[in-house]
Amino acid sequence: MKKPKIVFFDAKPYDIDSFDAINSDFGFQIKYYKNHLNPDTVKLAEGSDVVCPFVNDPITAEVIQQLLKYRIPLIALRSAGYNNVDLSAAYRNIHVVRVPAYSPYAIAEHAVALIMALNRKTHRAFYRIRDNNFTITGLKGFDMYGKTAGVIGTGKIGKVLINILKGFGMNVLAYDVFPDEKYAEQVGFKYVSLDDLYRNSDIISLNCPLNKSTYHLISRESITKMKDGVMIINTGRGHLIDTKALIEGLKKNKIGAAGLDVYEEESEFFFEDFSNQIIDDDVLARLMTFSNVLITSHQGFFTREALENIARTTLQNVKDYFEDQPLINEICYRCKEDECRKNKLGRCF
């Protein structure tokens, strides 16, 4: 059988390096494009068997219809998130697979890096020293030992984060719609209500998925319930936070610091170079003026180990499809609604 042809969109040099290395075990035909997948570029997929987009590629109903015209049966996301895909348009038309987990350590460790940098203000100290300014006024932090961290979402990433924070001697409060009480007892943290977590946490980390119930979880209302000077960390999804409410909280000193690896409108900017242009997003531009806000460009996943896992899982998903194996990482409209019942082939349809 001829090896399937995969066309990549929004391919960066690190994608090419990692996928080429892992593809030596699979032998697929791969074509890489720098372009985003959209209605204007979807024609580049003609003649291929699989499209492999990234998180900032909008897989709209129009794009899906065009892929169907090209008889492409599979969209292989090289990401965990799938909110860029119109799953209702894809349902029973085209299979969609993803990489549900690649390295919980990478993202949890990045969350801690944001916490440490904001607390000890190392990002500000770096620029001072480069200007030959060796003063430390204004760089005072706090001992993390004995402070309380609130972790929202205790999946794989949340659990790794809790283990790290416990290593600092922190008290940990957690919230999850599906609490793992056995794990909490084993590690030594407590599940509480969201309101209790807001009231008692010095640092709040968002590690939950984005859905209808978590959209703008951090809002004006929830911020008013928090401790004065709270630190908020988001390595989950941008829309977990109402950014305008976050800015209000920062201006009023209700929020003492914010570490953001994601942003509500990040698809317009993240992963791209705008160093020679003006940022025309007024909300993002305002966020960037705060010295107590640290923004990274969705790089939490960006480790050697995670890239290898992403490449291997993505290519394995493709292999499983064309060898009629169960698609354990398939996602569809009904999967999202927790109603999917895969058929005997282990596929959504």
Residues marked as catalytic: 237, 266, 298
In the block, residue with structure tokens 């283990």? 163
Closest CA to 271 of 97, 11, 77: 11
Cβ atoms within 10 Å, residue 229:
13
Tell me the residue type at 120.
Answer: R
CB 222 within 8 A of CB 248: no
Burial of 213 (0-12, 13-18, 19+ CB in 10 A): exposed
Distance CA 327, CA 347 (A): 6
Q: Report the DSSP pairing between strands 255-260 and 230-234.
A: parallel
CB 223 within 8 A of CB 253: no
